[in-house]
Structure 1
Amino acid sequence: MGLLFANGRNVVRETAEVFMENRENASAREMDVRGAALDQFAREFAVARKGGFDRFMDGLNRVPRPLMAFGTIGLCVSAMTDPVWFASRMQGISLVPEPLWWLMGAIVSFYFGARYQAKGQDFQRSIAATAAQAPVVAANIEALRALRADADGIGPVYEHEELGASDNPALADWQGARDE
C-alpha cells in the first residue's frame, strides 16, 4: 500500500487520468478560461470615469425626448383651453420654410437614430454576457440532477410524467410505496 499511496500520491488515480480526463480539473480550467474571457470583455467595454462636463452633457442629452413629449401634450391642452391662441401659433408654424422642416427632421432623426444604435449595442452586450453564462447554468442543472438521487441510492427520482408510470403498473406501485 505504501508503494501505491505513499507521499500523498494515488497511483491508481494518476494512471486513470492518463486515459480519462479529471472532470474536476477540467471544470476548473473551463472556469478560468471563461473568467478570462469575461474579464477581457469587461476591460474592452468598460465605461471610463466621467468628469463633470461629461455628466452634464449626458444629462443634456436626456432633455429632448421629455421636452418633445411634454411639448406635444402642452399643445393639445392649449388647443382645448384657448383655441384662438393655438390657431395663431399654428399660423406662425405654417410660415416656416420647407428646407427648415427638412433640417429639423434630419436633426431629430439623427438624434433618435444614434440613441437607438447606442441602446442596441448595449442590448447586444448584455445578450452576449447572458449567453456566456449558458454553459455554466447547464453544468449547474446537471449537477443538481445528479443530486436528485433518492435516499436508498437506487437512482434518480423523477416525476410520474417523466417515467410514464401510468404505462407501468409495477412502477406505479413502487412510486405509491415511496410516497407513503
Structure 2
Amino acid sequence: MGLIERILSLFFDDGRNVIRDTAEVFRENSEGAALREAHLRHSTLRQFAAEFATPRPGPFDRVMNGLNRLPRPLLAFGTIGLFVVAMVDPIWFASRMQGIAVVPEPLWWLMGAIVSFYFGARHQAHSQQFQRSIAQSLAHVPTVIGNTRRLDAMRAGPAPGAPDGPVVDTAPNPALAEWQNTRP
C-alpha cells in the first residue's frame, strides 16, 4: 500500500490534481470560464441597475437629453424645408445659397468631421447589428433548403406507395367521446 499511496500522492497531493493542471495548460477550464462569464454578466447587470436605480435629480438632465435628441430631426427636417423653400420662393433660396457658396473650404471640412463623428457611432452600431442579423439568417439556410426541397417533392406528386386521398385517422378518440357525452 505504501508504494501505491506514494504514487497517488505524487499526482493528487495537497488538494492539487497534476493531470488537471497539466491539461489546463492546453485547454481552458470550462467550469472556470463559465464562472468568469457569469461574474462578468452579473457585474454588467449590476452596473446597469446602478445606473437606473436612482431617478435623475432635476430638470437639467431632462433638458440635456432633449437637446441630445434634436440634431438628427433638425437636420432631416431642415433639408426637407430647403427643398420646399426652393420650390416656393426660388429667389430667396438662391440668395441664401450664394451666402453658403462663400463659406471657406476648411470650414466645410470641419463641419463634415463634426457630422461624421456625431453620426459615425450610431452608424457603426447599426452596421454591427445588421451583420449579426445576416449571420443569424445564414445559420437558417440549411433548414430553408431542406424545407424547400421537401415542398418541391410534394409539388411534384405523391411519394410512391402514398394513399391517393388525404389521410384521416378513423380510430375512436375516447377523450372526445367523453367530452361529447358530458355536454348537454
Instruction: Give the TM-score of the pair, scaled to structure 2.
Output: 0.44
Instruction: Give the TM-score of the pair, scaled to structure 1.
Output: 0.45
Q: Which structure carries more relative contact order (alpha carbon 8 Å, separation 6+)?
A: 1
